Structure 1
Amino acid sequence: MTDYETIRRVVTGHDSSGKAIVVADEQVPSVAPPEFGGRWAVWAADATVSLPDDGTAPAAGTSQVPPPGGVKVLELAFPPKYNPDALLDTTELLDPESLARAGFMVDPNPRGSYGSLPGVAGMHATATVDLVLQLSGESVFIMEDTEVHLKPGDWLVINGVVHSWRNDGDEPAKLLGVTVGAEHRGIPKR
């Protein structure tokens, strides 16, 4: 079970002779407030990387959303009974600044364009394609008028859609996400 504070990251690279080596074995802190579980930036690059390399982390900003062509690898953990509505004390969509302070990602869509399922306080979309694997526990992926229940081994591909997350279970929900930056022009006209 994750303690929501740190995860271990081992990084490989090459020494000066080209031999494969471990260049770092370290604890990575969560970038989310503790009440929101854990969110760890495992690895990131804001541009194409070149190999072989020395294992130094590629250039990447602090945003959880990579620029087009960039990549972020995240581990996510939602505590038991996780619900943004309860944590944020509202069932209304929050303004972008409040969402960012709570650890949610920057949203390219206009405000007021979402539905009202449970968990909407954290509704957001990102300029990314997210490939998400449910590792353990179960989670609920929430869209404007649809919920998708994920179990261990389930994959989800999020193509820049409006969404939020919930954990209705009694155990932590742990997910792995690979986020690829993309162009996002906002919600398509309906």
Structure 2
Amino acid sequence: MNTIPRRIVTGIKDGKSAIIEDQQAENAVEHLPGLIISDIWNTQKMPASLELEMSIPNTGFPQTPKNGTYFRYVSIPPDRNLGVEFKAGEPHPMMHQTQTLDYIIILSGELYLIMEEGETLLKPGDIVIQRGTNHAWSNRSNEPCIQLAVLIDAEH
């Protein structure tokens, strides 16, 4: 399984700012062959607490807490490695919708963002503001695509 990047958490120790955790993220899960997700951090309320939050289980589709957030690392393998077949004129089999406002940054590889109407190719450095709409990701390349996402509970 891929190594998830190092996670560094700051806080206050003896009244001074300090690094209180410095380690590889430990909760990486391979949900489907090559689809690796690690929910790096979460908050349970707004405004966010600066105290440590509870660990959260990884899920294939996020379950962002009411009034909370997720910070998620995702490695998306090529579609053929997942056994995903996308047939023209039919909805993508991985189409889904979340009740969140998502800030997504593509770190490496490439990925298609598929909507009910249209699609666009994303490359490293591209940023997606996903506003609770039905969507799917399709990796038609030969390499995994790495993305970081911040998911914020939202309402329509």
Provide structure 1 residue ranges, at least 5 long, that are not aligned to the other structure: 93-114, 185-190
- Return the structure number with greater helix share: 1
Determine if contact 1:84/1:121 at 8 Å carries over to the other structure.
Answer: no
Larger radius of gyration: 1
TM-superposition CA deviations, 1:134-158 (whole Å, max 9, x none): 1111101111131111011111111
In structure 2, do the counterparts of structure 1 residues 44 and 182 end up closer, same or farther at CA, with 3 Å as the change threshold? Answer: same
Q: 1:82 aligns with which of 68, 79, 89?
A: 79
State the alpha-carbon separation in 2 of the partners of residues 9 and 147 from structure 1.
Answer: 33
- CA RMSD, Structure 1 to Structure 2 (Å): 2.5
Q: 2:116 aligns with which of 144, 160, 164?
A: 144
Poorly superposed stretches of 4+, deviation over 6 Å: none
TM-score for both structures, normalised by structure 1: 0.68
Provide structure 2 residue ranges, at least 5 long, that are not aligned to the other structure: none
Q: 2:36 aligns with which of 35, 38, 46?
A: 38
TM-superposition CA deviations, 1:103-160 (whole Å, max 9, x none): xxxxxxxxxxxx725xx11111000011101111110111113111101111111111
Alignment of 1:20-35 (within 5 A): 20-27=17-24, 28-35=26-33
In structure 2, do the counterparts of structure 1 residues 24 and 35 end up closer, same or farther at CA, with 3 Å as the change threshold? Answer: same
Q: Percent identity between the aligned chains?
A: 31
State the alpha-carbon separation in 2 of the partners of residues 19 and 75 from structure 1.
Answer: 29
Give SS of 1:121's match.
Answer: coil
TM-score for both structures, normalised by structure 2: 0.82
Q: 1:116 aligns with which of 58, 71, 90?
A: 90
How far did residue 34 of structure 1 move? Answer: 4.8
The residue number in structure 2 matching 1:12 is 10
Count, aligned residues: 150
Q: Does 1:161 align with 2:133?
A: yes
How far did residue 65 of structure 1 move? Answer: 2.4
- Return the structure number with greater strand share: 2
